[in-house]
A and B are shown apart, each in its own frame.
Chain A
């Protein structure tokens, strides 16, 4: 399931699609909100910094375990210092505002690849308990 992100209205769409797919994966209750929030942050980054990109949602199955995978891709400017961007500013109340460390906290698995001038790919996974 693919959602193209090109303007801020798409962020809402991405959230809604993500929430639906999370339900199909067996998530319920507050987990749905956590997932939708992480999606919102990542989708918004695409709008703010890359102008356009896409979010791809897939249902995960590993034996009896089920989950959701979200891959966010853009061909934007890339993130110069990934380590800095991922630094958890939570305790100091100060972060780069990219919402990345926060999104990572909300999900179980989080990988980010970025190349200056080429773009960024973020892969997130969450498993239903």
Chain B
């Protein structure tokens, strides 16, 4: 079951952004020279290094998702080899960055944790570093160190991209989850013609209040609702902020010609809100849901008089 990531990462970098990132790691022309000088050496053993990377991961339990899917693993291996060649190319342009982002997105989609990736990446650089030092021998120790340092700069440039992609992927998933939760938790139910019931449960923060209002307003239009019964019995803490969200929601619904009845606001809470200076006169409150529905009927009843 080939699971090709359906969209590329949301991370989009301009040439200027790329230049800035290269400046962050202080990549200079000397570094490019050093890298050029070890290019052949590393390229010859690229296969080994890619293998080292994946072998290291295979020993880590959390990395299992990467190995579970053959297609993904093949893509990752190919991507790793391509990446190594890219690291040594000395050219860190848009194409290089895009390749990096593509690989990182792949890791993100299979849920590879950042901390796990960092371990493997470091291991791979470590192995490369040792080889370079061995190859250049004792006389070339200083030069070898410089070359390893230069390669590390590129490594950190890569990490910057990598981490941003993984973070973004994480946020994307969280965003989807939150949206799903919001959808589930604030459905507007149409019970009767022109009447919507909106039971609100849980904590009502600004983000949720905004979502709720948005949903309600669209539901009013879709259902041509004239009355909304908004029940807040299940709202965790009704403070002045929550009250103001409700007042705003009521005002917006009114602009669309819908009357809102708020039920479930206890007398004590109402008193404390008034004491805090909240103007509850804008709200049409009724004790409980049943009373609210009766009030709704009353309001709707007027329009049924016309023959």
Residues of A near any B CB (own CB < 8 A): 26, 29-30, 61, 63-64, 66, 91, 129
Contacts and interface: CB of A to CB of B under 8 A. Distances in A.
A64 B164 CA distance: 7
Nearest to B178: A129
B29 interface: no
Contact of B10 (A29, A30, A64, A91): A64
A83 B17 CA distance: 37
Interface string B1-28: 0000000011111100100000000000
A61 B14 contact: yes
Interface stretch (B44-52, B165-173, B184-192): B165-173
A61 B12 contact: yes
A64 B279 contact: no
Contact of B168 (A61, A64, A91, A129): A64
Contacts of B175: 129
A33 B280 CA distance: 28
Given A30-B214, A91-B279, A129-B175, A63 B168 contact: yes
Contact of B164 (A26, A30, A63, A91): A63
A91 B11 CA distance: 40
B165 A64 contact: yes
Given A91-B279, A129-B175, A64 B214 contact: no
Nearest to B214: A30
B167 A64 contact: yes
B11 A63 contact: yes
B205 to A, nearest CB: 14
A66 B164 CA distance: 13
A26 B11 CA distance: 12
Contacts of A64: 9-11, 164-165, 167-168, 171
Nearest to A29: B214
A26 B13 CA distance: 15
Contacts of A129: 175
Nearest to A93: B279
A67 B78 CA distance: 34
Nearest to A64: B168
Contacts of B171: 64
Contacts of B13: 61
Nearest to B11: A64
Given A64-B9, A64-B10, A129-B175, 14 more contacts: A26-B10, A29-B214, A30-B214, A61-B12, A61-B13, A61-B14, A63-B164, A63-B168, A64-B11, A64-B164, A64-B165, A64-B167, A64-B168, A66-B12
A5 B279 CA distance: 39
A28 B64 CA distance: 37
B197 to A, nearest CB: 23
A91 B175 CA distance: 32
Contacts of A63: 11, 164, 167-168
A115 to B, nearest CB: 32
A46 B94 CA distance: 40
A73 B241 CA distance: 34
Contacts of A91: 244, 279
B173 to A, nearest CB: 13
Nearest to B163: A63
Closest 6 CB pairs of A and B: A64-B168, A64-B11, A63-B164, A30-B214, A64-B164, A64-B10
